[in-house]
A and B are shown apart, each in its own frame.
Chain A
Amino acid sequence: DTGVSQNPRHKITKRGQNVTFRCDPISEHNRLYWYRQTLGQGPEFLTYFQNEAQLEKSRLLSDRFSAERPKGSFSTLEIQRTEQGDSAMYLCASSQLQGRHYGYTFGSGTRLTVV
């Protein structure tokens, strides 16, 4: 297992276009998270899944954002009608229970630039 994989690494899109990112978690991890990180800030939580169920969504996740995790395996994050403010690094993480805490592993992220 090579860890959490995210594709693409970089995406440049024109304002108004739709984009979709993919995350492949560590295979035995049942939890999957999406975070967004803007320049100079720490990652901000967007949403998380336990298996295929989306259990929590941040207020940052506007109606233009949708995430799925079919069959509890990989996940996709789609942004519709992109805006320049959507430019950020989108990070995926997966975790599993280790004793009494969850160990998180992050991917390398997808950097989105909206022009």
Chain B
Amino acid sequence: DAKTTQPPSMDCAEGRAANLPCNHSTISGNEYVYWYRQIHSQGPQYIIHGLKNNETNEMASLIITEDRKSSTLILPHATLRDTAVYYCIYQTGANNLFFGTGTRLTVIP
């Protein structure tokens, strides 16, 4: 299974940037890093993905280290609706996603 390591929980003040780290030291050169989040009782929601370069979309930014062994998801201005479990994943040649236990982000008013 494709192994990633994330802190189990983090807090962030509303309006501040949330920086969620992930270690993926066994990732290989052609495997994408994906970030999903899951709000209680809903299915996982896609946030962003990347291979080598940093990426930004309307939801978040993804910073990938040069050696690709770790990445950071940045929510620039966290809101209460960003409270969720965030999963860092990479897809192996097995063509499916292996989820760990993720980081539970709590945005505090």
Seen from chain A, the residues whose Cβ lies within 8 Å of a Cβ on chain B are 4, 31, 33, 35, 40-45, 48, 55-56, 91, 93, 100-109, 111
Contacts and interface: CB of A to CB of B under 8 A. Distances in A.
Interface of A is mostly: strand
21 contacts: A4-B43, A33-B96, A42-B85, A42-B87, A42-B99, A43-B97, A44-B99, A45-B96, A45-B97, A93-B43, A93-B44, A100-B32, A102-B91, A103-B46, A104-B34, A105-B46, A106-B43, A108-B41, A108-B42, A108-B43, A111-B41
A103 B34 CA distance: 10
B28 interface: no
B95 A102 contact: yes
Interface of B: 30, 32, 34, 36, 41-46, 49, 51, 85, 87, 91, 94-102
Contacts, number: 54
Given A42-B87, A91-B43, A109-B43, A104 B94 contact: no
B101 A101 contact: no
A56 B99 contact: no
